[in-house]
Amino acid sequence: MKGLSKLLPLSAIGFAIFMSFCTSPKNSEDIFPEFSAISVEGEHLNSRWLKKNVFVIFVTSREPYHIDLLAAVYKNYQKSGLHIIAFARESSISKKLAVMFPGIWVIVDHEEKYLRLFNGRSCCGRHYFYGSDLRLLATANNTVSYEEGIKVYLQQVINHKKFDFSLLLPEANIADSPLFYEIWEQLKRQNKENYFIFMISDVCIACPIAKKISDLSAATMRTRSSLGGMIIFSSDFSDIDIQNFEVQWKAGIQLSRATGELANHWNLLINDFRRNDVNGILLLMDSNGTLIAANEEAFKKLGI
């Protein structure tokens, strides 16, 4: 969610998208269902043959974003061993998919038999990703783009690529980091014993990050003689967004927006991982810039 929506309660659309992804299946519906089908090319598919990593998509209309999503998954993971199954209502679309994406299973679902099996009714089409134990890892409407949705789950499971704090700050001293040089120069002017940096790429009133902001504000007030700090926003926050934040939270903490190499690097991480992975990052350092703690450990050291 970009722009002013960061500072407002989640919209109905944003909330639906957020809730459409799941990472911890809780019931039998999250297990890959058993079925048998014949592809448009006459190949027999029995779901019991599939042991891990299955991507399922229902192409329920002629909207191009359905095929764009499938194309992105196919391009990046078809050769990785990912099983790809596409269900289509119309024979014309199914034949087109079989030509465009050789090596996947394309199945016609005239009577919506498989749609009911996956509980996948949606005006916008729906896709699913099942991991190594054939448990559901992620699902969303096809309106959620590849980059904003399924990509991160595929990366984590198949490429074993997860966000690591060192990708943001490999140095032990923030003063030595080219990315944080300008931020550190601003912090030093506060002339404190310790400093923190809190990085925000998304925020709303009802989000867990809102409590962390309040807690940080309280910690700053308690230790104002020895603790300095700064909240940094990702580059897609506008001046108005930041002004609204200041009015709404009254955090009493210096505010800044990422620029230059820090902004570029942060945006790359947001693109490669879930936005929440690189949101609400807390860095705690001493007067020399040496990193004392990060994230939850930093909150604990601040008594939060």
The Cα 304–Cα 298 span in angstroms is 9
pLDDT at position 302 over 60: yes
Of 99, 139, 110, the closest CA to residue 122 belongs to 139
pLDDT of residue 160: 82
DSSP state of 53: -
Helix (H) or strand (E) holding 228: strand 227-233
* Region 169-197 average pLDDT: 93
pLDDT at position 26 over 70: no
- Mean pLDDT, the chain, integer: 86
pLDDT of residue 206: 80
Of 140, 141, 168, 132, the closest CA to residue 272 belongs to 168
Buried b (16+ CB within 10 A) or exposed e, 143-179: bbebeebbbbbbbbbbeeeebeeeebbeeeebbebeb
- Over residues 45-97, the pLDDT tens digits come to 999 999 999 999 999 877 899 999 999 999 999 999 999 999 998 888 999 99
pTM score, two decimals?
Answer: 0.62
Query: Which domains are seen in the chain, by residue range?
Result: 8-159 (3.40.30.10), 165-301 (3.40.30.10)
pLDDT of residue 291: 94
The total of other beta-carbon atoms located within 10 Å of residue 217's CB is 17
- Over residues 265-277, the pLDDT tens digits come to 998 888 777 777 8
- Over residues 124-153, the pLDDT tens digits come to 889 999 998 899 999 999 998 888 889 888
